[in-house]
Structure 1
């Protein structure tokens, strides 16, 4: 579809151009501009490194490395050509290489980035403020990785591969960068083409459901029900994994095991990819649309006279991670699959 300027009595077509024709270089121009304006292709993202290459026995470098508001790592790859080359495979390699990036590694990388870009800021303070954390939460950092591919265009091979990889549980976004010229002005049309923005929430929900179904099939047994014991006594029997957060919090509260430290731990726990405890006004977007919290009811948990709702986004994998973590932290509690 063409883009037009609305004039008084006519439409003036905005002509398509190319980065090559405009003599814009990939790293020195496009990457530099997007580095400083990353929201254009990846909203709610903070760039913490450029040309990141701290990999053992590898000379590969990530164009831009960021984190999002959920403390996920964001690998951003850029191309100025018309087919994207093999950037999806390249980005997957990079995502695998940074999968074990720790909080301390991120701080070190961000310090280097701030120094190189001549920004007089404290790396850790900026990261904490961006994530909304009072103190570092190493266990919640970098649990998942996302990939953003930005290019002049994408070949059918890339789009087909990305659609399949997303269906298998990865989170890859393709953003088309289309330079345009209107008289002496150079414009940039930025379009997210995969997943389509209007279908993104739905596709994410479908992907999560398929991932859970595959995990259940691969596990070889029905793990849909749980029992919870406190000090060896049955507290709750035969509940669904979607209620594991609720009964855990209630059991801890009933047995007076929650103080300020424990509450802060529970409040910010994101094992299920959503914050475990939220107030009503904090539940927005996808979480509300797909009932990740029982926000239509009265609050399920109160602490210091403030009501909270408990996240319900549990699949087999994150349920098992949560069980291990809770049993290690609270030896009074024990779970078993029914």
Structure 2
């Protein structure tokens, strides 16, 4: 694999986190501070827990809430060998944690037992947004209730989601996750692959499960025909997403020069021809995601839900849905 910089091709090589002397805790901290790496532009999410201990003294890596009010368990393994050498299956460990979270029925219970200790641990990060005189519980209450309200007050914790993260996955894990998905368990696998280019480390992230067709990942008895993801399935299979801003502009739903407003905020931006926006207050040019995230203070935000087309008063998500529905064959 090569990347071209200033007309010069530079080779990119796969490596491992262990070769980079990165521990699992280093990967966990990277994702804690940048959970949008796993969310793309269709999910709003905030981290509410880290290394949360359950009744059996197990610890879940990261705990989050998404825009549907669901508790999300993010379980991390550094490299495939870390998965294979575990006594307990990677996916089963996550399922146990999710089962514990299913017992949390009220937001206040999550705040008291999970989020407030997390705020206390990372209080300096919240002081830029909240007064220092507030307690960790008060900050947690304001943060999570504001998030739930801004996302339409969905019912809290109707179901739980599981996100498994590793640089590579063994066949047994992929087979189990595919089966669980086909039986309506919301569990996903994300490959976070470290790459080396000269003295730079790059991170390539792909969602590899769930897929449209799970049969490729079922382990056959006595004769596995599973294709390891390290063989790099095509992006058409490994990444499912709704049309992005470039496609919306191609469809002429919006165009360069249109004004975009942040939902329930006074902030506006001008849409550029390349799909980026120019923030009207500062003239800074950036992506919509990078513009919107600091306005709401969340690490990941549903870009197309919170970006409002000024001329129609509708969100880009609504305009996209209307166009796709009207052009269905």
Q: TM-score normalised to the size of structure 2?
A: 0.57
Whether 1:284 aligns to 2:284 is: no
1:79-94 matches, within 5 Å, as 79-83=77-81, 84-85=83-84, 86-94=89-97
CA distance in structure 2 between the aligned counterparts of 1:152 and 1:197, rounded to whole angstroms:
15
Given that 1:49 and 1:65 are in contact with CA atoms closer than 8 Å, whether structure 2 keeps it comes out as yes
CA–CA separation in structure 2 for the residues paired with 1:7 and 1:133:
41
Structure 2 match to 1:173: 188
Q: Is the 8 A contact 2:207 2:239 kept in 1?
A: no
Asked if 1:186 corresponds to 2:186, the answer is no
The Cα of 1:281 is off from its aligned counterpart by 3.6
Deviations 1:287-316 (A, max 9, x none): 948x9xxx87xxxxxxxxxxxxxxxxxxxx
1:115 aligned to 2:132?
A: no
Alignment counterpart, residue 34 of structure 1, candidates 7, 12, 31: 31
- Specify the structure having the higher radius of gyration (Cα): 1
Q: Residues 12, 49 of structure 1: CA spacing in aligned structure 2 closer, same or farther, 3 A cutoff?
A: same
Please list, as runs of the form range in 1=range in 2, the aligned pairs for 1:227-306 lying within 5 A after superposition: 281=314, 284=317, 288=321
CA 199–185 in structure 1, closer or farther in 2 if over 3 Å, else same: closer
Residues 41 and 150 of structure 1 are in contact (CA less than 8 Å); yes or no, is this contact kept in structure 2? no
- Residue 116 and residue 8 in structure 1: after superposition, are their counterparts in 2 closer, same or farther (change >3 A)? closer
Kept in 2, the 8 Å contact 1:52–1:61? The answer is: yes
Q: 1:160 maps to which residue?
A: 175
SS of corresponding position for 1:192: strand
Aligned match of 2:12: 14
Deviation at 1:69, TM superposition (A): 0.5
How far apart, in 2, do the equivalents of 1:281 and 1:177 lie?
Answer: 35
Matches within 5 A, 1:319-330: none
- Give SS of 1:187's match: strand
Distance in 2, matches of 1:103 and 1:13, equals 49
Query: Could you list the runs of 5+ residues in structure 1 that have no partner in the other structure?
Result: 202-279, 297-338
Cα drift, residue 129 of structure 1: 2.0
Aligned to 2:302: none
Matching residue of 1:104: 108
TM-score (normalised: structure 1): 0.56
- CA contact under 8 A between 2:68 and 2:151: conserved in structure 1? no
**Residues 134, 197 of structure 1: alpha-carbon distance in 2 compared, 3 angstrom cutoff:** closer
Structure 2: segments with no counterpart, 5+ residues: 131-138, 211-236, 243-312
In 1, are the aligned partners of 2:65 and 2:71 still within 8 Å (CA)? yes
After superposition, give the CA deviation of every residue in 1:184-206 in whole Å (9 maximum; x if it has no partner): 111111111112564468xxxxx
1:173 Cα offset (Å): 1.1
CA distance in 2, matches of 1:22, 1:283: 41
Q: For residues 181 and 45 of structure 2, what CA distance do their matches in structure 1 show?
A: 20
For these two proteins, the number of residue pairs brought into alignment is 209
Corresponding residue for residue 73 of structure 1: 71
Q: Which has the higher contact order (CA 8 A, sep 6+)?
A: 2
> CA distance change for structure 1 residues 134 and 157 in 2, over 3 Å: closer, same or farther?
closer
Q: CA deviation at 1:6?
A: 0.6
Match of 2:248 in 1: none
Partner of residue 164, structure 2: 149
Structure 2 Cα separation of the partners of residues 128 and 197 of structure 1? 34
Distance in 1 (CA, whole Å) between partners of 2:201 and 2:165 is 18
Cα RMSD of the aligned pairs, angstroms, is 3.0
Deviation at residue 23 of structure 1 after TM alignment = 0.7
Separation in 2, partners of 1:154, 1:49 = 25
> How far apart, in 1, do the equivalents of 2:92 and 2:69 lie?
23
